[in-house]
Amino acid sequence: MTLNVERLRALHAVAVHGSIAAAAAAMHVTPSGVSQQLSKLERETGHTLLEPRGRGVRLTRAGHVLAGHAERVMAQLAAAAAELDGLREAAVGPLRLGAFVTAARSVLPAALTALRERHPDLVPTLLEANTDEILPALTRGDVDVAVVESWDTLVTPFPASVAHVLLSSDVIDLALPAGHPLARRRAVALSELRGMRWASWTAGGSCDQQLVQTLREHNVEPDIACNVADYPTQLAFVAADLAAALIPRLGRDPIPRGVRVVATRPAVHRKIYAAWRAGADRPAVRACVEALQTVAERLPDGRPGS
């Protein structure tokens, strides 16, 4: 039995993206084109690979088995392409980066400046998004290097097809209205925060989930007053005595009047990683990761070993 690589690619895309329509969008083809590839793959294998689920589809047991092999085939093909690229020593051409907002503001400018100085023929572009959006973009090949976060209280799982390296460990502080009784403390136990209203990130996103999970671990059910994808706006709500917030130190703007920042007990950290597709470490990717590591070594607060 001979399996067609493009049909395996279509099955892998459905497994990653969860639907034929989403797989087609990621592959820049029509849904009918994906369906045709999968029908041919079923005839080649003699197995039903997809079955109806509501208005969509899901993988059968045979589909899951073959999709696992397809992921390894895609990784091996990416490794082969990277090895061929590695025959060229220079880091040249396009490089697509993805990063969450505070890393994009505090880490990427210095890293991209270093890349421009060392590799002037490299052409980087940046996509800013949440970690739960960046990692899927990385696995489907829409970005080459991703900078992502993982909180102690809500760990980010890395797919088997993604390699990663720790850049830094950031500290999360509690921002309170200056007039709040707990604001006089140097540190506040998370279990003491019942009954407070909170400023959080975009509703349902990874940052919002991290806040909720962190507080629930200490028997605090958060009452969300506002969902805004911007820490300065969250701090403005705190300054107006409308909410409290959990604010990472990395990339934090100057604290506005009316806000007091105190440590949490226990301390909460988030780890920051550079990630890339396993086997796809061509010279441009290696140069980018090295630049990110160099910049991360200069970051204050919570670095590994500090």
Considering the domain architecture, whether residues 231 and 148 belong to the same structural domain is answered as yes
Whole-number pLDDT of residue 52 = 86
- Residue 192's domain is classified under what CATH number? 3.40.190.290
Whole-number pLDDT of residue 86 = 59
CB 169 within 8 A of CB 299: no
- Tokens 């045709």, residue? 36
3 closest CA partner among 61, 44, 53: 44
Considering the domain architecture, whether residues 20 and 64 belong to the same structural domain is answered as yes
What is the mean pLDDT of the segment spanning 49-69?
90
CB 180 within 8 A of CB 242: no
Give the pair of three-digit tokens for residue 68.
């696992």
Which burial class, exposed, middle or buried, applies to 299 when counting CB atoms under 10 A from its CB (0-12, 13-18, 19+)? buried
Considering the domain architecture, whether residues 189 and 260 belong to the same structural domain is answered as yes
Q: Does residue 208 surpass a pLDDT of 50? A: yes
Considering the domain architecture, whether residues 64 and 131 belong to the same structural domain is answered as no
When divided into structural domains, the chain yields a total of 2
**End residue of a domain, out of 57, 86, 115:** 86
What is the C-alpha separation between 172 and 269, in angstroms, rounded? 6
Whole-number pLDDT of residue 262 = 96
Element (H, E) at 266: none
Residue 99: what residue type? A
Element (H, E) at 261: strand 259-265
Considering the domain architecture, whether residues 73 and 217 belong to the same structural domain is answered as no
Q: Does residue 82 surpass a pLDDT of 80? A: no
What is the mean pLDDT of the segment spanning 260-289?
92
Considering the domain architecture, whether residues 39 and 95 belong to the same structural domain is answered as no
Whole-number pLDDT of residue 251 = 66
Considering the domain architecture, whether residues 58 and 141 belong to the same structural domain is answered as no
Q: Does residue 9 surpass a pLDDT of 50? A: yes
Considering the domain architecture, whether residues 151 and 281 belong to the same structural domain is answered as yes
- Residue 41's domain is classified under what CATH number? 1.10.10.10
Query: What are the phi and psi torsion angles at 125 (to 5°)?
Result: -130, 155
Considering the domain architecture, whether residues 184 and 162 belong to the same structural domain is answered as yes
Give the pair of three-digit tokens for residue 266.
């226990």
Considering the domain architecture, whether residues 104 and 213 belong to the same structural domain is answered as yes
Q: Does residue 302 surpass a pLDDT of 70? A: no
Element (H, E) at 9: helix 5-17
- Categorize the per-residue pLDDT at 305 as very low, low, confident or very high, splitting at 50, 70 and 90: very low
What is the C-alpha separation between 249 and 171, in angstroms, rounded? 6
Please report, for residues 6, 111, 164, 166, 304, the alpha-carbon distance to residue 298 in angstroms, rounded to integers and kept in the order given: 44, 11, 19, 14, 11
What is the mean pLDDT of the segment spanning 74-101?
78
**For 210-232, how does the pLDDT look when each residue is reduced to its tens digit (9 = 90+)?**
999 999 999 999 999 999 988 89
Residue 94 or 81, more confident? 94
Whole-number pLDDT of residue 188 = 97
**End residue of a domain, out of 86, 101, 118:** 86
- Categorize the per-residue pLDDT at 254 as very low, low, confident or very high, splitting at 50, 70 and 90: confident
- Which 3 state secondary structure label does DSSP give 217? coil
What is the C-alpha separation between 141 and 278, in angstroms, rounded? 11
Query: What are the phi and psi torsion angles at 91 (to 5°)?
Result: -90, 100
Considering the domain architecture, whether residues 122 and 80 belong to the same structural domain is answered as no
**End residue of a domain, out of 33, 54, 86:** 86
What is the C-alpha separation between 78 and 250, in angstroms, rounded? 33
**Torsional sign, CA 70, 74, 75, 80:** positive
Residue 98 or 82, more confident? 98
Q: pLDDT > 70: what percent of the chain?
A: 94
Whole-number pLDDT of residue 303 = 37
Q: Does residue 257 surpass a pLDDT of 60? A: yes
Whole-number pLDDT of residue 85 = 63
Considering the domain architecture, whether residues 165 and 33 belong to the same structural domain is answered as no
Query: What are the phi and psi torsion angles at 53 (to 5°)?
Result: -145, 100
Q: Which residues form the domain of 50? A: 5-86
What is the C-alpha separation between 286 and 222, in angstroms, rounded? 41
Residues in the chain: 306
CB 273 within 8 A of CB 165: yes
